[in-house]
């Protein structure tokens, strides 16, 4: 098994921008994407803020090349995956075994929930074509076909850690010499299904979320897609531009504590982080920046914070939750945050944790509140923890 897997490209669409430069600019200017809901039709408009992609389906269709009637999730996935693929320059290299490993928690639920309005009233009603993307796998398949990727397509769904597991799986397909290059990450559009689901759990913030704040009230949902292009050492060596960044460690660890809550001591987050460190051969003090899972719920931030304290005390790296910009994009979050993490390495960036007013009393560290560039960032840890105890951490390292 070959050891190193390099990051050759990145693509993202989120509430703060439709591509990498737009997102980076919003991050630099501390411009959040969280706002009043205005694209999703829901009774919660005006009551629950969210970070929507600031484009209607007709505009997404133009950008993605799909019909406007296609699931919004397919179009978001296509836009970010294509940016990553083009950015990598792999497309011009013939004869490679290529794959698409995409994560999503909702598939084409945006269309299914419209279908159900008619279907609930009468099981003979509802347009069947609205179910074309209900199965998560159909979302990935549609995008892979449009990108011309044939050797391997797979779809992963492990709640909020989904796209971290997609990135891990993609890397392993390369290490096992099954593929040469993989677009890996995830996508999730905002839907009434997830908005109402999280609302029933009473973990949505009616104001703008404040992760790692003593007075945090919950999370804001978001939508988007984020992908990185992973390549083998052999492919990396012949690329026109130096990838500059590798995926040096990862770990999938289950909290096995509760279906929706994290353990108070953060056993799952701790296990995922220490497992990723072990694989990368790094010590805790080698980590320069942590892109926190940092949802803003009382439970997540306590649990994640406790795990960071256990692992890093007394040398705390800089850290922040970029969900203060993008909202929690669920199955897309680890993909989007992987893109931000690799950008952090390339340009020495530390992102701000917006709206932090009162640091959590129980924690001896405070997330960063300012954007900074040209820092010495060699290793970035990115955390993603989800329902079902699914905890995953990734480590990106400067080459």
**Is 227 a binder of another protein (CB under 8 A)?**
no
Contacts of 121 (CB under 8 A, 6+ apart): none
Q: Tell the smallest beta-carbon distance from residue 173 to another protein (Å).
A: 8
Contact mark string toward another protein, 304..343, x via CB under 8 A:
----------------------------------------
Region binding another protein by CB under 8 A among candidate stretches 13-21, 77-85, 117-125, 333-341: 117-125
Q: Considering only residues 3, 58, 128, 238, which one is a binding residue for another protein as defined by CB under 8 A? A: 128
Contact mark string toward another protein, 265..284, x via CB under 8 A:
--xx--x-------------
Q: Considering only residues 58, 92, 215, 259, which one is a binding residue for another protein as defined by CB under 8 A? A: 259
Q: What are phi and psi of 74, to 5 degrees?
A: -65, -45
C-beta closer to another protein: residue 256 or 347: 256
Q: What are phi and psi of 267, to 5 degrees?
A: -60, -40
Contacts of 43 (CB under 8 A, 6+ apart): none
Q: Tell the smallest beta-carbon distance from residue 227 to another protein (Å).
A: 17
CA distances from 227 to 16, 86, 123, 269, 397 (A): 16, 12, 38, 23, 17
**Is 154 a binder of another protein (CB under 8 A)?**
yes
**Is 347 a binder of another protein (CB under 8 A)?**
no
Contacts of 53 (CB under 8 A, 6+ apart): 13, 14, 15, 18, 39, 60, 76, 223, 224
**Is 169 a binder of another protein (CB under 8 A)?**
yes
Catalytic residues: 160, 293, 328
**Is 172 a binder of another protein (CB under 8 A)?**
yes
**Is 353 a binder of another protein (CB under 8 A)?**
no
Burial class (CB within 10 angstroms; exposed 0-12, middle 13-18, buried 19+) of 118: middle
C-beta closer to another protein: residue 193 or 208: 193
Q: Tell the smallest beta-carbon distance from residue 241 to another protein (Å).
A: 30
Q: Tell the smallest beta-carbon distance from residue 259 to another protein (Å).
A: 6
Task: Tell which residue, 297, 322, 329, has the closest CA to residue 104.
Answer: 329
C-beta closer to another protein: residue 135 or 368: 135
Q: What is the DSSP letter of 328?
A: B
**Is 253 a binder of another protein (CB under 8 A)?**
yes
- Could you give the dihedral angle defined by the CA atoms of residues 212, 336, 342 and 270, in that order, rounded to the nearest 10 degrees? 50
**Is 127 a binder of another protein (CB under 8 A)?**
no
- Pairing outcome for strands 390-398 and 379-385: antiparallel
Q: Considering only residues 36, 176, 234, 373, which one is a binding residue for another protein as defined by CB under 8 A? A: 176
Contacts of 136 (CB under 8 A, 6+ apart): 104, 105, 106, 107, 155, 157
Cα three-residue angle 262-268-270, rounded to 5 degrees: 120
**Is 201 a binder of another protein (CB under 8 A)?**
yes
Contacts of 91 (CB under 8 A, 6+ apart): 85
Contacts of 95 (CB under 8 A, 6+ apart): none
Residues 78-107 that bind another protein (CB under 8 A): 104-105, 107
**Is 42 a binder of another protein (CB under 8 A)?**
yes
**Is 65 a binder of another protein (CB under 8 A)?**
no
3 state DSSP class of 150: coil
Contact mark string toward another protein, 366..385, x via CB under 8 A:
--------------------
C-beta closer to another protein: residue 172 or 310: 172
C-beta closer to another protein: residue 103 or 282: 103
62, two tokens: 């133009």
181 vs 100: CA distance, rounded Å: 9
How does DSSP assign 350-387, residue by residue? B---TT--SB-TT-S-----S-B-S----EEEEEEE-G
**Is 108 a binder of another protein (CB under 8 A)?**
no
41, two tokens: 């039709």
Binding site for another protein (CB under 8 A): 1, 42-44, 104-105, 107, 112-113, 116-117, 119-120, 123-124, 128, 131, 135-138, 140-141, 145, 150, 153-159, 165, 169, 172-173, 176, 192-193, 196-197, 199-201, 252-260, 267-268, 271, 386-390
């Amino acid at each position: 098994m070959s050891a190193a897997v390099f990051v050759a490209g990145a693509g993202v669409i989120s509430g703060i921008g439709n591509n990498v430069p737009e997102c980076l600019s919003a991050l630099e200017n501390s411009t959040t994407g969280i706002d009043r809901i205005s694209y999703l039709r829901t009774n919660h408009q005006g009551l629950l803020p969210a970070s929507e992609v600031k484009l209607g389906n007709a505009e997404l269709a133009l950008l993605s090349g799909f019909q406007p009637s296609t699931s919004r999730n397919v179009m978001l996935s296509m836009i970010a995956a294509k940016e990553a693929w083009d950015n990598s320059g792999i497309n011009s290299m013939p004869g490679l075994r290529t794959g698409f490993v995409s994560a999503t928690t909702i598939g084409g639920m945006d269309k299914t929930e419209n279908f159900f309005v008619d279907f609930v009233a009468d099981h003979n009603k509802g347009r069947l074509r609205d179910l074309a993307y209900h199965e998560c796998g159909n979302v990935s398949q549609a995008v892979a076909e449009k990108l011309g990727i044939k050797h391997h397509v797979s779809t992963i769904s492990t709640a909020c850690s989904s796209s971290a597991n997609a990135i891990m799986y993609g890397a392993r397909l390369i290490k096992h010499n099954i593929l040469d290059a993989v677009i890996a990450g995830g996508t999730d559009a905002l839907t009434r299904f997830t908005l109402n689901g999280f609302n029933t759990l009473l973990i949505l913030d009616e104001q703008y979320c404040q992760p790692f704040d003593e007075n945090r009230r919950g999370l804001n949902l978001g939508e988007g897609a984020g992908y990185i292009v992973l390549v083998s050492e052999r492919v990396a060596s012949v690329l026109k531009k130096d990838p500059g960044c590798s995926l040096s460690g990862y770990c999938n660890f289950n909290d096995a504590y509760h279906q929706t809550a994290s353990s108070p001591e953060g056993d799952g987050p701790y296990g995922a982080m220490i497992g990723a460190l072990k694989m990368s051969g790094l010590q805790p003090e080698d980590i320069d920046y942590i892109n926190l899972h940092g949802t803003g719920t009382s439970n997540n931030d306590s649990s994640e914070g406790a795990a960071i304290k256990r692992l890093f005390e007394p040398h705390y790296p800089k850290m922040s939750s970029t969900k203060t910009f993008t909202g929690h994009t669920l199955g897309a979050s680890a993909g989007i945050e992987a893109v931000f993490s690799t950008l952090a390495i390339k340009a020495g960036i530390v992102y701000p944790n917006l709206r932090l007013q009162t640091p959590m009393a129980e924690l001896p560290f405070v997330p960063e509140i300012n954007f900074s560039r040209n820092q010495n960032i060699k290793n970035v840890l990115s955390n993603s923890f989800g329902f079902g105890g699914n905890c995953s951490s990734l480590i990106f390292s400067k080459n």
